[in-house]
A and B are shown apart, each in its own frame.
Chain A
Amino acid sequence: MWAFLHRFASPPHFYRLAGTLAPWLGWICLGLMAGGLYGGLVVAPPDYQQGESYRIIFVHVPSAWMSMFIYVVMAGAGAIALIWRIKLAEVVAVESAPIGASFTFLALVTGSLWGKPMWGTYWVWDARLTSELVLLFLYFGVMGLHAAIEDRRAAGRAAGLLAIVGVVNIPIIHYSVEWWHTLHQGPTVTKLSAPSIHVSMLVPLLLMAVSFKLFYLTVLLQRARSGVLERERGAGWVRELLARTESD
């Protein structure tokens, strides 16, 4: 097991494996996304209350899920990087941050586009919206810290540590914002009380969720490949690789 993990985590091996996997994952992701979009935008019936505008959930909900999922992945990779000093984990933690921030931003934008016809305003200081916004700030913090530190390895570890601190804080921030809301003024925006979603809407939603996960994996593998190359630019295997591509 350990031998396998070490072999997997060795940069040249990862570089090759990621290069083979990424296109496959990308194509599967595209296929699922096409199916999910077709199911969501064409096949699924309009909602009896919200009409057509509910269809944004097929983008909004998966990206909100991804925004939290990626943060946890980032913190996990950060912990692995700090404890076992695995270079690859640093790369994964650092390269996840911009993808996660994009998904968070997408969730916020699609949410406010949906909010305009539904709630009559682009933005309300609702608990969920606020904690999603704070999550975006936390992502920016990780990215800013990583960009500010010169030494790449120290930057990776510092960003990983900050991600861990953030992941401890996210539940606290989320509940504090939720209680702030209820303590202050009582709910002005009633959440959809967990409507039992119809199968014709659930299937495309799940398809989209899986395809978003694969999209993340694809982009992460590509970004991690270039991250590994950049960090290992002095190593022998990168020179060999370079020599081979030049001779081709």
Chain B
Amino acid sequence: MNAFLAVARRDLLLAVRHRAEAANPLLFFLVVVALVPLGLSPRRETLELIAPGVFWIGALLATLLSLERMFRSDFDDGSLELMLVSPQPLPLIVLAKIVAHWLATGLPLLVAAPLIALLLGLPARSLAVLLAALVLGTPTLSAVGAIGVALTAGLRRGGMLLSLLVLPLYIPVLVFAASAVSAAAGGLPAAGQLYLLGALAALSLTLAPLAAAAALRISVS
């Protein structure tokens, strides 16, 4: 448990000390959202219709961009190897890094969500469901993303490859989260989708650390 807290604390400290770098995914998200009305149409009805999808595609891409931070710099400076040879269970360390990544990227998304919902013209009644979907959906993004980053940690130019590996695995979150928000915006119950998002989060948070730990051992060996 101490190792878990130590790793999480270290990663969070690193995120806080590199504030500008940590803010980039959020800014990217804002820019993508701002591009949509420019590229499609600023008409209220159109925006309302596509807002849930745009919101979640933006969130997916922003998470994707921030994933590399999880293991890449540790790989470069060698601290990843120390984590691998430490007597602490590696999946636990990976879980700590996933939690820290979520706190550094998922949580800001949550704070920015009301503003972005406003920009996209999402009705106020869907805000609660949007926040709930973010709370339940973004941990899955961090956890599944960890496997992809762990597999590509040793590669020089792993960025494009990472998106190819990770984005197809993000489809369930995109489907359920966007559908939950659309349902709520249309005044329909969204509990089913939220339950499924919760189930995905539970599944990915338990299994992904194991897979990512195995992937790290392959990447570093």
Query: Chain A residues in contact with chain B, CB under 8 A?
Result: 82, 134, 137-138, 140-141, 144-145, 148-149, 154, 157-158, 161-162, 164-166, 168-169, 172-173, 176-177, 179-180, 183-184
Smallest distance from the beta carbon of B125 to chain A beta carbons, Å? 19
Is the Cβ of B152 less than 8 Å from the Cβ of A145? yes
Is the Cβ of A176 less than 8 Å from the Cβ of B172? yes
Contacts A169-B169, A176-B171 given; indicate if A183 touches B179 (C-beta within 8 A).
yes
Query: Chain B residues in contact with chain A, CB under 8 A?
Result: 147, 151-152, 154-155, 158, 161, 164-165, 167-169, 171-172, 175-176, 179, 182-183, 193, 196, 200, 207, 211, 214-215, 218-219, 221
Main secondary structure of the interface of A (DSSP, over half): helix
Contact of A158 among B172, B182, B183, B218 (CB under 8 A): B218
* Most chain A CB neighbours (cut-off 10 Å) among B155, B171, B196: B171
- Closest residue on chain B to residue A169 by CB atoms: B169
Main secondary structure of the interface of B (DSSP, over half): helix
Is the Cβ of B214 less than 8 Å from the Cβ of A161? yes
Whole-angstrom CA separation of A169 from B167 in the bound complex: 12
Q: What would 24 A/B residue contacts be, using CB atoms closer than 8 Å?
A: A134-B171, A137-B168, A141-B168, A144-B165, A145-B161, A145-B165, A148-B158, A149-B155, A154-B154, A154-B218, A154-B219, A154-B221, A158-B151, A161-B211, A161-B218, A165-B147, A165-B211, A168-B207, A169-B168, A173-B171, A176-B175, A176-B196, A177-B171, A180-B179
Is the Cβ of A180 less than 8 Å from the Cβ of B151? no
Is the Cβ of A165 less than 8 Å from the Cβ of B161? no
Chain A contacts of B152 at CB under 8 A? 145, 148
Smallest distance from the beta carbon of B37 to chain A beta carbons, Å? 23
